[in-house]
Structure 1
Amino acid sequence: MVIMSELSAAPAGPGQGQQKPLRVGFYDVERTLGKGNFAVVKLARHRVTKTQVAIKIIDKTRLDSSNLEKIYREVQIMKLLNHPHIIKLYQVMETKDMLYIVTEFAKNGEMFDYLTSNGHLSENEARKKFWQILSAVEYCHSHHIVHRDLKTENLLLDGSMDIKLADFGFGNFYKSGEPLSTWCGSPPYAAPEVFEGKEYEGPQLDIWSLGVVLYVLVCGSLPFDGPNLPALRQRVLEGRFRIPFFMSQDCETLIRRMLVVDPAKRITIAQIRQHRWMQAEPSVPRPPCPAFPTLGYTSSLGHYDEQVLGVMQSLGIDRQRTVESLQNSSYNHFAAI
C-alpha cells in the first residue's frame, strides 16, 4: 500500500489549477493542527467512512535512539488502551524514515484553550469533567500504566465536550514497589518528589497532577506559579497555594488531600471517588473503570457495519482480512476503517 502521495498539480483548464489533496494511506489530509521539532499533526478524513482523524507524522531521521524508543513506547501504551475518555489509536503506518500515528480527533481542542477563552468552570461542570479524567487515569493505573504528564493541554474535548485524555509521550509501565526516577511533565503540574530528583511511585505522581488539574478547572489559574523555575520549585516543595473565595470547602479539602507534599500521605484514586465533593451531585455520570482493556471485537459479522464493508470491498479491500484485523486488534488500515 502506498502510504503517502505527494501534492500534485491538477490538469490545467477552466476552473482547475488547484492542487490535489495530500493523502496518507486511506486518508485525505485537510489541514495542519500543530507542528513540533520532529513531527507535524494533520487533520485528515478517511476516504471510506469520512471519519475525521488526527495523524501525527514523525520524521524518524531527526530522532535519536532515546526519543525514538519513547515514541514506540507511546504507541505500545496506546494499543493497550480502550476507554471512552482516552484518545483512541486507530492505525500505525511506518516506512524506513517516517512514522504515521492515526488517532481519534477531538474537534473542540484543548481544555487549556477552552479555559483561556471562557474562564474557569462552575464546580458542577468541573465535577463532571473531573469524573471523566479520574476514570481515564484510574483505567491506566489498573493496567500498570502511568501518564506522568497530566495537564489541561493534554485534556482534549470531543464534539460532545467530553474529556479525551491524550499524549502518552511521558507514559510508562510500572510495577508496585519498583519506583521510577525520570523527570517528566510540565513544571507547574510536577510533584515535589520530581523537583527533588527522588525516585517516585507513578500513581502518586499522577494524583498530585490531578490535584493541580482540578484546581485549574475550578479556578482558571495554576496553584503553583512563580517568576522563574527556582521560585516555582520552592512553592511546590512547600505545598503553598491560595484558595479563592468562591471555592467550596469540600472542593478545597479534596484538592488539599491530593496536593500533599509527602506522596505516602496523598489520597488514593479510590478515596477520591468516595470524597464528599465527588459525590455531591448525584446526577453527574460516574464512568466505571473496566477491570481489563476491552480490546478486540465480537466475531459476529452482525456487529460490523455491512455498508462500510461493502464499500471497502468495492475498492479492492479484502473483506475477510478486515474482519480478521478487527478480531485481532491489528492497528492496520483494515481495522482503522
Structure 2
Amino acid sequence: MLDKRVVVEFKEEEDERGENDPSRSSFNVSTVKEPFCSQYRCGSLLGSGGFGSVFSGQRLSDGLQVAIKEICSDRVQQWAILPGETSPVPMEIALLQRLSEVGGHVGVVRMLDWFHVEGRGFLLVLERPPHSQDLFDFITERGAQPERLALRFFRQVVEALRFVHAHSIVHRDIKDENIVVDTRTLDVKIIDFGSGAQLKETSYTEFEGTRVYSPPEWILSQSYEAVPLTVWSLGVLLFDIVCGDIPFERDQEIVQATPIFTRRVSKECQSLIRWCLSFRPEDRPSLEDILSHPWMLGGQEEEEEEEECSLSSQSL
C-alpha cells in the first residue's frame, strides 16, 4: 500500500499566535477518540472524484452540518507521518491539519476531524458552508460573470493561496470545481487538497491536478515549480470566470499560451490574465504582484467607495 509515493514525515509547526490563542482550531489530534459512527451521521453522496467521494453529514453532539470525504487507501498517491502517530495518513490529512493548527483561513475549507476506518479507508470531516455551490456550477448556471464579481472571487482566492503558501503548502489543483461560493454572501473557499504537497523551491516532477489547468512546462517537460504552476492556474481560472469557459482544451493550445477572449473583457483584466498565462514561468507574476495589479487595485477602490457610501446613507 505504501509503495506508490514517498512517505513524508511532518514536524510540528509552531503557531505564530501562541498556544493559548483562543482563535486556534479545536482540531482533534488525540490518538484516542470515540469512533466515527458514535460522533457523526453520514448522509447522501454530494460528489465524487479521482481521490474519493464526499457525503453530507451531521455532527451528533450539536447537529452541525458537515461534509465527509471518504478516501480509499489504495487510491492514495502520497502519504505522511504526523507527529504522535505511528501509521502514515494521506497527505491531504497532514496538509489540512497543518492549516487547522495555525488557526485556519476564512478562504480555506477547515478540517474538523479525521478517522481511519477498517474497510473504508480514511474519513475526513470538513466544514460545510451553508448555501454553498461550487464555482463550476455557479458559472454553468449564470454564465460569464461581470468583472466586479470576478474580482471579488479572484481576490479571495489569491489571498487564501498566500496563506496556504505561507505555511509551506501548495494546492496544485486550483480550478472552478475546487472553489465553493456562499451564494448569499458571495464569499468563497478553496476545497480539496487531494493533489496538494509540501511547498518547496525546487521543481516537482509529479502532477495529480487537472491537465487543462496545467502549464506549458508540465506538458513539454513534465516538470514545474509551485508558484508558477499556481499562477498559471489562476490565469485559467480568471479567464473562466469572465468568459464563462476555460481558455485551453488541448495540449497544443496550452503550449501556445495565447488565450482568445470570447467576450468583452476590459484591457486591464486581459493584461492580468495574459501575464498569469505567460509561456515562460519566470515571466509570470507572484501572488503579491497579482494583488497589486491595476485591475485588482481599481476594483478594490470601487468597492471601498461603495462601502463608504453605504455607511453614509445608513447614518443619514
* Residue 251 of structure 1, aligned match among 259, 264, 269: 269
**Number of the residue aligned with 2:17:** none
Q: Aligned pair count?
A: 257
Are 1:240 and 2:253 matched, yes or no? no
Are 1:3 and 2:28 matched, yes or no? no
* Residue 217 of structure 1, aligned match among 232, 235, 241: 241
Distance 1:38 1:239 in 2: 29
CA contact (8 A) 1:174 1:180 kept: no
Distance 2:187 2:174 in 1: 16
**Number of the residue aligned with 1:170:** 195
SS state of the match for residue 160, structure 1? coil
Are 1:123 and 2:147 matched, yes or no? yes
Give the direction of change, closer, same or farther, for the CA distance of 1:33–1:237 in structure 2 (3 Å limit).
same
Q: CA deviation at 1:66?
A: 3.8
In the alignment, residue 66 of structure 2 is paired with which amino acid?
A: V
Alignment of 1:281-292 (within 5 A): 281=299, 282-284=301-303
Q: Gaps (5+ residues) in structure 1?
A: 5-23, 226-231, 286-337
In the alignment, residue 51 of structure 1 is paired with which amino acid?
A: L
Q: CA deviation at 1:128?
A: 0.4
CA contact (8 A) 1:31 1:42 kept: yes
Q: Percent identity?
A: 29
Distance 1:245 1:91 in 2: 43
Distance 1:145 1:238 in 2: 29
Q: CA deviation at 1:147?
A: 1.1
Distance 2:132 2:106 in 1: 16
Q: CA deviation at 1:216?
A: 0.4
Are 1:91 and 2:113 matched, yes or no? yes
Are 1:103 and 2:103 matched, yes or no? no
TM-score of the pair, normalised by structure 1: 0.71
Give the direction of change, closer, same or farther, for the CA distance of 1:224–1:83 in structure 2 (3 Å limit).
same
* Residue 138 of structure 2, aligned match among 88, 97, 114: 114
Q: Which has the larger radius of gyration?
A: 1
Q: CA deviation at 1:68?
A: 5.9
**Number of the residue aligned with 2:64:** 51
CA contact (8 A) 2:51 2:75 kept: no
In the alignment, residue 226 of structure 2 is paired with which amino acid?
A: G
Give the direction of change, closer, same or farther, for the CA distance of 1:234–1:37 in structure 2 (3 Å limit).
closer
In the alignment, residue 161 of structure 2 is paired with which amino acid?
A: V
* Residue 181 of structure 2, aligned match among 146, 157, 179: 157
In the alignment, residue 3 of structure 1 is paired with which amino acid?
A: P
Distance 1:257 1:270 in 2: 13
Deviation per CA, 1:185-242: give whole Å up to 9, x if none.
21221100111134221111000000000000111011112xxxxxx11111111221
In the alignment, residue 294 of structure 2 is paired with which amino acid?
A: R
Are 1:180 and 2:204 matched, yes or no? yes
In the alignment, residue 57 of structure 1 is paired with which amino acid?
A: E
SS state of the match for residue 278, structure 1? helix
Distance 1:152 1:93 in 2: 28
In the alignment, residue 270 of structure 1 is paired with which amino acid?
A: E
Give the direction of change, closer, same or farther, for the CA distance of 1:129–1:38 in structure 2 (3 Å limit).
closer
Of 265-274 and 197-206, the range deviating more from structure 2? 197-206
Give the direction of change, closer, same or farther, for the CA distance of 1:65–1:210 in structure 2 (3 Å limit).
closer
CA contact (8 A) 1:128 1:284 kept: no
CA contact (8 A) 1:71 1:169 kept: no
* Residue 142 of structure 1, aligned match among 162, 166, 169: 166
* Residue 191 of structure 1, aligned match among 215, 223, 234: 215
Give the direction of change, closer, same or farther, for the CA distance of 1:65–1:144 in structure 2 (3 Å limit).
closer
Give the direction of change, closer, same or farther, for the CA distance of 1:145–1:102 in structure 2 (3 Å limit).
same
Deviation per CA, 1:269-313: give whole Å up to 9, x if none.
11111110001122548xxxxxxxxxxxxxxxxxxxxxxxxxxxx
Give the direction of change, closer, same or farther, for the CA distance of 1:78–1:239 in structure 2 (3 Å limit).
same
Distance 2:43 2:162 in 1: 35
Q: Alpha carbon RMSD of aligned pairs, Å?
A: 2.1
